[in-house]
């Protein structure tokens, strides 16, 4: 087939205009993961989030401090300065800033001018991660954090990791709401051939989008087959819920069991993965991941085995999305079109929602 007719391309391009993408400005008024708590110590950490350069450190009372990483004197990054007793001393002319970002000392003069500070951002540490609110400070409400109790619950054995993604966070959210790619992009890791064809259901609500897929019977890939003991061909049920919970959190929950046993006789094995994308720039993303399971508690070898296997698969997404970004970036706008199919419904709804959020924020 040649290229679609020009009218078909125009219709596809028009449909895409209603979806958030790599060129959509960031939604600032939401919680995003800034870092794993263990990354923030008593030294300065520079990190770009939502296109803004920030500097982080942990104050002596344990609080995570986040300031704009730019000295308001002559724009030296504060992260190039030094941390002294919970204050940052700029490396250029020595202005000193406290945890609130207020300038409290100018070495070249006796008195410090008021109101020449740098912006401080609200942070909130919960479980392994540090959340940040970079939008309107008065809207930074902890009730807007997505549900995540298992990430701080000892009943869940956890591991965590970070991947640098060379693509937009929108495309990562899309990837996570689209499980039809498992049989292909993850053919060598955790995708099995029956996965793409399995029936699915969707839940599309206001800001909540989920994809549910029951693959029964199925053969588990080694990452789950070995730890659960469900290694026989066609032995397992794989019940999957993949849910966009907020701009900063997508959660995948999976239950496995032996489908040849009756409901009362079969143990259930549950895993959860928190995928937490935070935009760095329009086309790069910090990808924080926490993985948990409710079985094989305290078994470090299983934790290591599952973590290594899963991160092979997550790296496949990162590599695939980077290739997709390269193709998007090198296609002239007039030649760029994409078609959606039925399985894309939750991702399309999510991208409409993200665009609507951004447009609402711009109007406000």
Residues contributing to the site for Fe ion (CB under 5 A): 317
CA diameter of the chain: 80
What is the token pair recorded at 125?
């540490």
Picked from Fe ion, ligand FES, none, the partner binding residue 317 (CB below 5 to 8 A depending on kind) is Fe ion
Picked from ligand FES, Fe ion, none, the partner binding residue 93 (CB below 5 to 8 A depending on kind) is ligand FES
By CB under 6 A, which span of 92-100, 122-130, 240-248, 301-309 interacts with ligand FES? 92-100
Q: How far apart are CA 39 and CA 286, in angstroms?
A: 14
Q: Does 92 help bind ligand FES (rule: CB under 6 A)?
A: yes
Least separation in angstroms between residue 185's CB and Fe ion is 6
Q: How far apart are CA 17 and CA 243, in angstroms?
A: 24
Hey, which residues does 270 pair with through a beta bridge?
Answer: 255
Least separation in angstroms between residue 321's CB and Fe ion is 9
Least separation in angstroms between residue 82's CB and ligand FES is 12
Q: How far apart are CA 209 and CA 96, in angstroms?
A: 46
Q: How far apart are CA 269 and CA 238, in angstroms?
A: 10
DSSP states of 281-320: ETTEEEEEEEEEESSSTT-HHHHHHHHHHHHHHHHHHHHH
Least separation in angstroms between residue 166's CB and Fe ion is 16
Q: Does 181 help bind ligand FES (rule: CB under 6 A)?
A: no
Q: Which is nearer to ligand FES, 78 or 198 (CB)?
A: 78
Cis amide leading into 217 (omega within 30): yes
Q: Which of residues 59-78 bind ligand FES (CB under 6 A)?
A: 71, 73-74, 76
According to DSSP, the β-strands at 82-84 and 236-246 are unpaired
Q: Does 88 help bind ligand FES (rule: CB under 6 A)?
A: no
Residues that bind ligand FES (CB under 6 A): 71, 73-74, 76, 90, 92-95
């Amino acid at each position: 087939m040649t290229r679609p007719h020009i009218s078909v391309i125009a219709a596809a391009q028009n449909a895409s205009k209603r979806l958030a993408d790599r060129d959509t400005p960031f939604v600032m008024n939401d919680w995003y993961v800034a870092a794993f708590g263990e990354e923030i110590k008593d030294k300065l950490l520079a990190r770009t989030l939502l296109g803004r350069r920030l500097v982080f450190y942990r104050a002596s009372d344990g609080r995570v401090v986040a300031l704009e990483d730019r000295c308001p004197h002559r724009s030296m990054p504060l992260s190039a300065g030094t941390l002294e007793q919970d204050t940052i001393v700029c490396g250029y002319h020595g202005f000193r800033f406290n945890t609130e970002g207020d300038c409290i000392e100018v070495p070249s003069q006796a008195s410090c001018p008021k109101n020449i500070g740098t912006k401080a951002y609200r942070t909130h540490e919960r479980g392994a991660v540090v959340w940040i609110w970079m939008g309107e400070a008065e809207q930074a409400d902890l009730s807007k954090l997505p549900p995540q109790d298992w990430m701080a619950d000892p009943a869940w054995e956890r591991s965590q990791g970070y991947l640098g993604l060379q693509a937009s966070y929108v495309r990562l959210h899309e990837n996570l709401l689209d499980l039809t790619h498992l049989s292909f992009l993850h053919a060598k890791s955790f995708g099995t051939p029956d996965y793409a064809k399995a029936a699915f259901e969707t839940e599309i609500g206001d800001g909540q989008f989920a994809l549910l897929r029951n693959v029964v019977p199925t053969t588990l890939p080694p990452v789950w087959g070995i730890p659960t003991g469900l290694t026989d061909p066609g032995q397992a049920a794989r019940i999957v819920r993949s849910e966009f919970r907020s701009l900063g959190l997508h959660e995948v929950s999976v239950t496995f069991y032996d489908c040849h046993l009756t409901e009362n006789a079969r143990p259930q094995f549950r895993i959860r993965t928190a995928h937490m994308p935070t935009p760095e720039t329009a086309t790069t993303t910090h990808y924080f991941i926490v993985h948990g399971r409710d079985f094989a508690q305290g078994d470090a070898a299983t934790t290591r085995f599952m973590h290594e296997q899963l991160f092979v698969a997550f790296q496949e997404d990162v590599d695939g999305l980077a290739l997709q970004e390269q193709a998007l970036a090198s296609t002239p706008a007039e030649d760029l079109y994409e078609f959606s199919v039925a399985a894309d419904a939750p991702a399309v709804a999510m991208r409409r929602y993200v665009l609507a959020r951004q447009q609402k924020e711009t109007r406000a």
